[in-house]
Amino acid sequence: MSNYELVILISPEVDEGEVSGVMDKVNQLISDGGGVAGETKHWGRRKLAYSIKKFKEADYSSTLFELEPGLLKELEKNLRASKEILRHLVVKVQRKMGGVTDGEPE
């Protein structure tokens, strides 16, 4: 399994209390695909540099996870289909979920 970091922008139409529910859904998608969801951070609501779907601000959240590379496209397809998520970015990282750098180059 490979290590990834996911950053998502959640629509401002989603209440502050429901943002954690959206992140729980994302972590469930990762788990359903055989992956392991790690640390999740909510960065709060921030102003966007440019409008996305006519919104000028969004809630930022990130999570670290492990997933088989072949299943990443399925996860991204589900993220694109979600109406609550304005944008997402998945980046492969060399560190393990505990924050320790993996000594092996990938």
Q: CATH number for the domain including 13? A: 3.30.70.60
Whether residue 103 is contained in a domain is answered as: no
Whether residue 57 is predicted with pLDDT greater than 60 in this model: the reply is yes
Query: What is the residue range of 8's domain?
Result: 2-92
pLDDT value at 102 more than 60: no
Full-model pTM: 0.81
Give the total number of structural domains in the chain: 1
- Contacts of residue 64, defined as CB under 8 A and 6 or more positions apart, other chains included, come to 3, 4, 5, 6, 37, 38, 39, 93, 97
Which has the closest alpha carbon to 45: 26, 18, 63, 79? 18
> Residue 100 — very low, low, confident or very high, per pLDDT cuts 50/70/90?
very low
